[in-house]
Amino acid sequence: MAKLLIIAEHRNGKLSDATMELCRIAKEIAPGLGLEPVAAVFAKDDSLAKEVAKYIPEVFAVCDAAVEGYTSDAYAQAVKAVVEAKDVKGVLIPQTYDGVDYAAKAALAIGAGIVSNCNKAVIEGGKLVLTRNIYNGKLQETKSVTTDKFVVTFEKGAYDPAEAGAAGAVSTVAVSFTPSRTKVKEIIAMSAGGVDISQAKIIVAGGRGLKDADKYKDVVLPLAAKLGAEYAGSRPVIDSGWTDASRQVGQSGKTVTPDLYLALGISGAVQHVAGMKGSKCIVAVNKDPEAPIFNIATYGIVADLFEVVPGIMANL
Amino acid sequence: MKIVVCLKQVPDMESKFKIVDDKKVDESQIAFKINDFDNYAVEAALQLKEKHGGEVVIVSAGPDRAAKDIRQAFAMGADWGMHITDPAIYEGDSFVIASALAKAIETIGGVDLVMTGVQTEDLQAAVTGVMVADMLNVPHCTNVVKINTADGKAFTLNRELEGGLNEVMDLTGPAVLTIQSGINEPRYPTLPGIMKAKKKQLDAKSGADLGVSASSRTAFIKMFVPVSDTMAEIIAGAPAEAAAKLVDKLKNEAKVI
Ligand SMILES: Cc1cc2nc3c(=O)[nH]c(=O)nc-3n(C[C@H](O)[C@H](O)[C@H](O)COP(=O)(O)OP(=O)(O)OC[C@H]3O[C@@H](n4cnc5c(N)ncnc54)[C@H](O)[C@@H]3O)c2cc1C
Ligand SMILES: Nc1ncnc2c1ncn2[C@@H]1O[C@H](COP(=O)(O)O)[C@@H](O)[C@H]1O
């Protein structure tokens, strides 16, 4: 039977959550496509492949020094080799930093169309239909692939991870790699030091809607002080230097789960929401009624934040 | 150095998006601008040019309205551009667009470095840069947050990773870099810059001019406004009144303050 292949992701010998999420998706959609769900693990040995086999019935291990660390050249070659050796029709890859780096290259290598950054997959009339965010999440679209083979990447957290079960079969696939044109020198931590906002009970977060550094300081900081809260920001606030990097919330910043998260002038892009959706109570103040942040907030006020915040201050 | 920046004009995301026939957004209410990530790419290219000399060329596929933002990049300091005005290209999927961008870059010739944004704000695909690299048969680095080069040929790059990590990597150009926000502070055009931009060369090209034969590998089905089953309770009223109600709810209903 032709196969639906997920590509496992790992760093420092640890599988990423996205890997188990893909296992769930593959097992859910493979039967409707007449495919068998399988996984591939590219690593120096097969220990992680054995781990992945608890989540999916069959795993192919490519064990080679060329994939001891990640490079796009090696990963694209490994995907191609497994697809050709094992009658693979579809490939699922996480939309993570590494996934983004090789998914499109792997798609070209196997002559497949790619639909990236998806959050839902269903089968309609035997066809795979994919849902994804567009316009920074204000709209969504559905797409399909018109080529024989397909590659799909999924947003992290779009599906719950699969549960572990009885161990599946692990076999190896040999790949003859050509040397990578990129050389990884080291992986370094950039976010050492700064404040730890992850323990705060209340967080007041400002976004690009605060307009400039002075307004951010004049509006967000006093409200935070009055609430005994930590203050934080979306990525543009940190990119523009309105506050320091240790206060960034989101996929490339901190994950926070306070009792109360106040989002002022933040649109609610998935990369931001990834870092705060676990908050107990979320308040969104945004002048755009269609801002996606309202889709996940507990309470929302559709208005100019510069008029709302003084009102909040006056009532505390 | 000869640097190409791939730039897309996108809607301002604060616009009101009205869907027509489940198929497209009504453009009449929309203001357009440079894709945020591409603005960082333009700035990164200009900084390399200032250090190493050479030129910065803008390549963009899009309707006539995109010329405004190509000239915006000219006003920042880019030298000239190529505008792919063919709907058969810009209405194609990422594969078609990447094929055309790659052909344009080959047509320009002698390119040392190609820069794209990490992703477009409208399509959020994050695939075009990687495809262009593969089609040009050159190495790439995605999510670039730092660029070091002594000679414009050998590069040491920081690639952003999850959890505040960076991968430091080496590659040799020509190459494609996809540029992440925050890498620099994009400059604003100056008045003399805006004046000069009007006279800079902007070549219009069709798919046929560039010899593009690619066709889409994906099909668009429909677009819609997402429905959320966790939609916020919207607190109505004038700002001061809504604020008072909110504080009351936080104290007595959610009991979080
Ligand atoms: C790989 C990658 C990683 C990323 N990581 C992160 C991350 O960790 N964290 C993060 O936040 N982003 C991250 N981003 C960026 C993310 O995609 C968005 O661009 C970002 O979150 C937008 O920030 P924002 O909501 O502050 O700005 P915008 O999206 O510009 O939204 C501003 C909002 O303010 C509102 N507004 C404007 N004026 C007012 C006013 N006067 N009153 C009320 N409302 C107003 C507008 O209606 C709008 O909704 C990442 C992107 C990528 C590609
Ligand atoms: N129509 C286009 N014209 C020029 N560059 C584009 C176009 N579409 C995408 N790009 C470039 O490719 C990057 C990634 O786009 P995407 O793959 O659509 O997310 C953008 O940031 C641009 O630099």
Residues 6+ apart with CB under 8 A from B55: B2, B3, B49, B79, B80
Residue at B10 is within a domain: yes
- Answer yes or no: do B167 and A184 touch at CB < 8 A: yes
Instruction: Tell whether B97 and B25 lie within a shared domain.
Output: yes
Which has the closest alpha carbon to B140: A176, A92, A102?
A: A102
Instruction: Tell whether B103 and B13 lie within a shared domain.
Output: yes
pLDDT at A187 over 90: yes
Q: Indicate left, alpha or beta for A116 from its phi (over 0: left) and psi (-120 to 50: alpha).
A: beta
pLDDT of residue B241: 97
Q: What is the radius of gyration, based on Cα positions, of chain B?
A: 21
Name chain A contacts of B239, Cβ cutoff 8 Å. Answer: 301, 303-304, 307-308, 311
pLDDT at A175 over 80: yes
Residues 6+ apart with CB under 8 A from B171: A181, A182, A183, B139, B141, B155, B157
A129-171 confidence digits (pLDDT tens): 999 999 999 999 999 999 999 999 999 999 999 999 999 999 9
Task: Name the A residues in 197-256 with CB < 8 Å from any B CB.
Answer: 202, 227, 235-236, 238-241, 251-253
Residue at B128 is within a domain: yes
CATH number of the domain enclosing B156: 3.40.50.620
The percent of residues above 70 in pLDDT, for chain A, comes to 99
A294-298, B59-63, B163-167 — which is least confidently predicted? B163-167
Q: What is the radius of gyration, based on Cα positions, of chain A?
A: 22
Chain A interface disruption, residue of B39, B176, B216, B218, most A CBs within 10 A: B218
The chain-wide mean pLDDT, for chain A, equals: 97
> Closest approach of chain A CAs to the CA of B201, in angstroms?
31
Which has the closest alpha carbon to A245: A190, A295, A291?
A: A190
Torsions phi, psi for B58 (to 5 deg): -95, 130
pLDDT of residue A174: 97
Which has the closest alpha carbon to B254: A258, A86, A7, A217?
A: A258
Please report the domains of chain A, with CATH numbers, ordered by start residue: 3-172 (3.40.50.620), 197-314 (3.40.50.1220)
pLDDT of residue B163: 85
pLDDT of residue A227: 98
Pick B182's closest partner by Cβ from A109, A238, A310: A238
pLDDT at B229 over 90: no
Contact between residue A128 and residue A121 where contact means Cβ atoms under 8 Å apart: yes
d(CA A242, CA A238): 6
d(CA B177, CA B8): 16
pLDDT of residue B186: 97
Name chain B contacts of A102, Cβ cutoff 8 Å. Answer: 130
Q: For the residues A11-30, what does the mean pLDDT come to?
A: 97
- Using DSSP's 3-state secondary structure scheme, residue A41 falls into strand
Question: Is the peptide bond between B174 and the residue preceding it cis, with omega within 30 degrees of 0?
Answer: yes
Q: For the residues A113-130, what does the mean pLDDT come to?
A: 97
Q: For the residues A209-214, what does the mean pLDDT come to?
A: 98
Instruction: Tell whether B159 and B256 lie within a shared domain.
Output: no
Residue nearest to ligand 2 atom 14, measured at CA:
B119
pLDDT of residue A145: 98
**Where are the strands (E) in chain B, listed by range?**
2-6, 9-11, 19-20, 24-25, 32-34, 55-61, 80-84, 113-117, 140-149, 154-160, 165-172, 175-179, 202-205, 218-224, 233-234
More confident residue, B96 or B228: B96
B146-164 confidence digits (pLDDT tens): 999 999 999 999 999 998 8
Instruction: Tell whether B108 and B65 lie within a shared domain.
Output: yes
d(CA A141, CA A122): 13
Q: For the residues B60-69, what does the mean pLDDT come to?
A: 98
Contact between residue A264 and residue A220 where contact means Cβ atoms under 8 Å apart: yes
ipTM of the complex: 0.97
The chain-wide mean pLDDT, for chain B, equals: 97
Instruction: Tell whether B188 and B245 lie within a shared domain.
Output: no
Token reading at A295: 């889709």
Q: Containing domain of residue B248, as a range?
A: 229-257
Distance A233 CA to ligand 1 centre (A): 9
Instruction: Tell whether B156 and B239 lie within a shared domain.
Output: no
pLDDT at A193 over 80: no
pLDDT of residue A158: 95
Residue at B223 is within a domain: no
- Answer yes or no: do B95 and A129 touch at CB < 8 A: no
Instruction: Tell whether B187 and B233 lie within a shared domain.
Output: no
Instruction: Tell whether B195 and B236 lie within a shared domain.
Output: no
Name chain A contacts of B167, Cβ cutoff 8 Å. Answer: 184, 186-187
Domain count, chain B: 2
Residues 6+ apart with CB under 8 A from B34: B7, B8, B9, B10, B42, B69, B72, B73
Instruction: Tell whether B164 and B239 lie within a shared domain.
Output: no
Residue nearest to ligand 2 atom 20, measured at CA:
B117
Which residues make beta-bridge pairs with B3?
Answer: B56, B113
- Using DSSP's 3-state secondary structure scheme, residue A158 falls into coil
Token reading at A21: 């999420």
pLDDT at B228 over 90: no
Instruction: Tell whether B196 and B236 lie within a shared domain.
Output: no
Which has the closest alpha carbon to B11: B63, B51, B52?
A: B63
Residue at B124 is within a domain: yes
Residue at B219 is within a domain: no
pLDDT at A192 over 80: no
Residue at B217 is within a domain: no
Instruction: Tell whether B205 and B234 lie within a shared domain.
Output: no
pLDDT of residue B109: 98
d(CA B117, CA A187): 22
A219-244 confidence digits (pLDDT tens): 999 999 999 999 999 999 999 999 99
Residue at B177 is within a domain: yes
The percent of residues above 90 in pLDDT, for chain A, comes to 98
Residues 6+ apart with CB under 8 A from B231: A294, A295
Instruction: Tell whether B168 and B240 lie within a shared domain.
Output: no
d(CA B198, CA B71): 7
Contacts 24+ apart (CB under 8 A), B17-20: B17/A135, B17/A138, B17/A139, B17/A290, B19/A139, B19/B223, B19/B224, B19/B225
